[in-house]
A and B are shown apart, each in its own frame.
Chain A
Amino acid sequence: MAAETAWLRAEHVTKTYGGVRALQDASLQLRPAEIRGLVGANGAGKSTFVKILTGLVAASEGDVLVDGRALPRGRPAESLRAGIAAVPQELMVAPTMTVAENVLLGHEPRGRLGLLERRKLRSRAEQVLRSLGLDIPADEPVGRLSLIEQRLVMIARALSRKARLVIFDEPTATVAPREVDLLVRTVRGLGERGVSVLYVSHRLDEIEQVCDSVTVLRDGRVVAELGRATRRALVEILASGTEGAGRRRDVDEAREPGETVLRLHRVTGERLHEIDLEARAGEVLGLAGLAGSGAREVLLTVCGAAPFTGGDVAIAGRRLASGDPVGAVAAGVGFLPGDRSLAAFPSHSVRHNVSLAALEGLFVRRGAERSEVARLLDLVAARADMEAPISSLSGGNQQKTLLARWLASGSRVLLLDDPTAGVDVATRPEIHQQILRLRSAGAAVLLVSSDIEELVELADRVITFDRGAVSAELTGAALTTPRVLAAMTEKGVSA
């Protein structure tokens, strides 16, 4: 029974920033080997809670107790020593260093004279990797690994520090579906080794799949604690108290799309092979494929971020130069990257962020800019102070703001890369609505998403990619999640 009692307790933790309560009287207990989900809309206090556990932020009230002993507040080194390690949302690896060096970064084995012991470093790293069941070469520079493997290296790093609790903050936000399985298996493996896991995610299916128990936060408070929770139960809890959640698209509204706006003809690039593709005004074209299959690469090629070596890309008959973002934007292309750090200007105001692509002429006309930005923010239902820095907004509101940028510039072709990644459950449908609104306003929307259900729900057509080539096109009744998944994963399957 001793193993069943909680070793870590967060008791009545409160955190106030200025006058805002980010977290209020939140408690959490963790038993050894327990895999606990932490869910809640953005701004519910998840990341604050995580930061208090890891000591990055000092609680205003309440304590985190490890084996009954309170951790000093706001001391990351102490939390780490107590066995609390976090695998953050962003990758924090040194790309040119080897896997082994990254795994043991910061606590490398040292011999006499304090010199590095390379052999020991390698064998220890291998031991950790093996215990996780990972087949990653210890001598490989981390930069050469896939993103998911890099993330696994970070997990190995946490373990090598004898972590008793590993916290995952949105681990799958930028991971392809197939790779999620690997991550899920690794997380389960941690539990089997007696390590506790706190799994923070918006993806409720993952929570259902992985977690033994779930804590739900809303407005800084713990509103529910569940044992094994189904996705449906979680959606209900999360959706209660939020309006308009889960609004579905009316399938019958499908109407005749307009003329062809975007045409790719035999486009070949580093990861694309002779792609032919057309998108018409007023349609949402879904692009599906595993990481590296070419779906995302099409977006990068059209927006000018990746060059193409053959074929041509044309917007409304006008050919685009290869690797020329300025020309692409001028031709009416708007690209919303999946990684918001590639789109937002963090220290700039919301106003600057929205208007940037639409500015023309010599001088900025502030009055016109203000009223236009206000109109657009209203349109996309972003709750944001125009003059506040964009980095002060929640992920969902940032995404809406960045969408407003391309509304401002009047883009005819919108390239959306995983637009709801890292966006909370309540804001997701709002983003979906915006996408459909763009469609009815006559834009050609190219949508890439790691969430296949999202693609099926929103897209008029879905084109699947495999190894740099189009593998299938699905429309109408054939457009179902299993079909898309099958086409993505089996080469040459046609609808």
Chain B
Amino acid sequence: MEVQRIAFAPLLIALGGERLSRVAEETELAVRPRTTRRSLVSLRGVAERWSLLLAFLGAIVFFAVARTDTFLTLDNARAILDDTSVLVVLAVGVTAVLVIGEFDLSVGFVVGFAAAAGVGAMAFNGWPVWAAVALSLAVGGMAGLANGVAVAYVRIPSFVATLAIGSIAAAVELAITRTSIFEGIPPSYLDIALKRVGTIPLRAIIAAVVVLLFLLILRGTVFGRHASSIGDNPAAATLAGVPVARVRVVVFVLAGLAAGLAAVLVTSSAGSYYPNLGTGYLLPAYAAAFLGLSLGSGLRFNVLGSYLGVLLLGTVTTGLTMMNQPSWVAALVQGIVLIAAVAGIAIRRRDVLGR
């Protein structure tokens, strides 16, 4: 009888039934020796903490089996890493803003604005590549500064402030570019998207470096500690002497810089500027960040989780395309994955709070 139950519990967990595993755990309490119970609980805990990684590995295994010859190749791995680089950079910037408990809904528009500025400077004014890249970053940073000041000093809710500033950025972009496509980009700019370091695409390396940089900032610095304290309890952070407004502004600037860099990664690969090129990135960037929320035990937004979230979304999209599924299937699967992840988080949070 006892043995049967022990054998049963992991199965219930494997079936993914949060409630079931809970029931299993509770019915076990009285009869089972402590050590077994602890290992069961921690097994569940580990499964929860790493569910995103498990989903990612699961997706790889699934597509590897379904499309062995095309999916499980170095070329494809390279392509996924390269394709997702833009989203990685954006998602990481968005994550920093989510860490302080705010939203930045301007990122997609800012990508377009920064792209127009950088490419325009090269195409019409003959700016060198480095200056164009710097301009894109500066434009992104300035937009972030505007967001930050609006939120931290004018105290406009970030949801509204960033939507409005994003809308203004998009309007200025379209007014200046007259809704046209720019080409005539120097070849060395296109190299950003073509070069490889060893066998890995440069864009993927840049994205990974941005991930590490944000990881260092948010986890390793006093500034990062301040940022996450603001996200958890802004009133308490204020009373504890955290320079709340300044930290908020800097975080929005960081997100803006990330959007500026993302613009460079997009246009170097596309070989041109085209209108509204950034707008499609907003939702997946947030989807990735919310997927990433489930990584680790803290139930907090974190850079590595967002990175893994982007990779999961990219893998699913690529894999489904290879299986010749229409694009709505990818959107559907992404939506379902996101809902499942967020629901899982809600349940865990309830459990953590003792229900």
Residues of A bordering B, CB below 8 Å: 16-19, 56-57, 60, 303, 305, 325-326, 328-330, 335, 337, 341-348, 352, 355-357, 359-364, 389, 391, 405, 409
Other than the given A328-B241, A352-B228, A363-B221, 4 more pairs (CB < 8 A) read A345-B237, A348-B228, A356-B242, A364-B225
| 21 A-B pairs (CB sep. < 8 Å) | A57-B354, A60-B26, A325-B238, A325-B239, A325-B240, A326-B241, A341-B233, A341-B236, A343-B236, A343-B240, A345-B236, A346-B233, A355-B225, A357-B241, A361-B222, A362-B223, A363-B220, A363-B222, A364-B225, A389-B352, A405-B240
Residues of B bordering A, CB below 8 Å: 26, 29, 34, 37, 41, 220-226, 228-229, 232-233, 235-243, 298-300, 352-355
Are A364 and B222 within 8 A (Cβ)?
A: yes
Given that A19-B34, A329-B241 are known contacts, is A342 also in contact with B299, CB under 8 Å in the complex?
Answer: no
**Nearest CB of B to A411, in Å:** 10
Cα A363 to Cα B355 in complex, Å, equals 37
Cα A170 to Cα B225 in complex, Å, equals 33
- When distances are taken between beta carbons in the complex, the residues of chain A under 8 Å from B241 are 325-326, 328-330, 357, 409
- When distances are taken between beta carbons in the complex, the residues of chain A under 8 Å from B224 are 364
Q: Give A17's nearest chain B residue, CB to CB.
A: B354
Given that A57-B355, A60-B26, A341-B233 are known contacts, is A303 also in contact with B225, CB under 8 Å in the complex?
Answer: no
Cα A328 to Cα B241 in complex, Å, equals 7
Are A342 and B239 within 8 A (Cβ)?
A: yes
Are A342 and B236 within 8 A (Cβ)?
A: yes
Q: Give A74's nearest chain B residue, CB to CB.
A: B355
Are A359 and B222 within 8 A (Cβ)?
A: yes
Are B239 and A343 within 8 A (Cβ)?
A: yes
| B220, B239, B242: residue with the most chain A Cβ atoms closer than 10 Å | B239
Cα A341 to Cα B353 in complex, Å, equals 15
Contacting B233 at CB < 8 Å: which of A335, A344, A361, A405? Answer: A344
Are A352 and B225 within 8 A (Cβ)?
A: yes
Given that A16-B29, A60-B26, A347-B300 are known contacts, is A356 also in contact with B229, CB under 8 Å in the complex?
Answer: yes
- When distances are taken between beta carbons in the complex, the residues of chain A under 8 Å from B221 are 362-364
- Which secondary structure dominates chain B's binding surface? helix
**Nearest CB of B to A300, in Å:** 10
Contacting A335 at CB < 8 Å: which of B239, B299, B300? Answer: B239
**Nearest CB of A to B329, in Å:** 36
Are B236 and A344 within 8 A (Cβ)?
A: yes
Cα A364 to Cα B300 in complex, Å, equals 19
Q: Give B233's nearest chain A residue, CB to CB.
A: A345
Are B240 and A346 within 8 A (Cβ)?
A: no
**Nearest CB of B to A465, in Å:** 22
Are A329 and B240 within 8 A (Cβ)?
A: yes
Cα A60 to Cα B28 in complex, Å, equals 13
Are B232 and A362 within 8 A (Cβ)?
A: no
- When distances are taken between beta carbons in the complex, the residues of chain A under 8 Å from B242 are 326, 356
| A56, A347, A352, A389: residue with the most chain B Cβ atoms closer than 10 Å | A347
Q: Give B243's nearest chain A residue, CB to CB.
A: A326
Cα A328 to Cα B239 in complex, Å, equals 9
Are A352 and B229 within 8 A (Cβ)?
A: yes
- When distances are taken between beta carbons in the complex, the residues of chain B under 8 Å from A356 are 225-226, 229, 237, 240, 242
Are A348 and B29 within 8 A (Cβ)?
A: no
Q: Give A409's nearest chain B residue, CB to CB.
A: B241
- When distances are taken between beta carbons in the complex, the residues of chain A under 8 Å from B298 are 347
**Nearest CB of B to A359, in Å:** 4
- When distances are taken between beta carbons in the complex, the residues of chain A under 8 Å from B229 are 345, 348, 352, 356
Contacting A347 at CB < 8 Å: which of B26, B222, B232, B243? Answer: B232
Given that A19-B37, A347-B299, A348-B229 are known contacts, is A362 also in contact with B239, CB under 8 Å in the complex?
Answer: no
Q: Give A339's nearest chain B residue, CB to CB.
A: B235
Cα A222 to Cα B352 in complex, Å, equals 27
Are B232 and A345 within 8 A (Cβ)?
A: yes
Are B240 and A357 within 8 A (Cβ)?
A: yes
Contacting A359 at CB < 8 Å: which of B41, B225, B237? Answer: B225
Given that A18-B41, A362-B222 are known contacts, is A346 also in contact with B232, CB under 8 Å in the complex?
Answer: yes
- When distances are taken between beta carbons in the complex, the residues of chain B under 8 Å from A303 are 239
Given that A19-B29, A344-B233, A356-B229 are known contacts, is A305 also in contact with B239, CB under 8 Å in the complex?
Answer: yes
Are A364 and B29 within 8 A (Cβ)?
A: no
**Nearest CB of A to B297, in Å:** 10
| B224, B236, B354: residue with the most chain A Cβ atoms closer than 10 Å | B236
Q: Give B235's nearest chain A residue, CB to CB.
A: A342
- When distances are taken between beta carbons in the complex, the residues of chain B under 8 Å from A56 are 355
Cα A5 to Cα B243 in complex, Å, equals 60
Q: Give A344's nearest chain B residue, CB to CB.
A: B236
Q: Give B299's nearest chain A residue, CB to CB.
A: A347
Cα A18 to Cα B351 in complex, Å, equals 11
- When distances are taken between beta carbons in the complex, the residues of chain B under 8 Å from A346 are 232-233
- When distances are taken between beta carbons in the complex, the residues of chain B under 8 Å from A329 are 240-241
**Nearest CB of A to B9, in Å:** 15
Cα A451 to Cα B300 in complex, Å, equals 39
**Nearest CB of B to A233, in Å:** 32
- When distances are taken between beta carbons in the complex, the residues of chain A under 8 Å from B233 are 341-342, 344-346
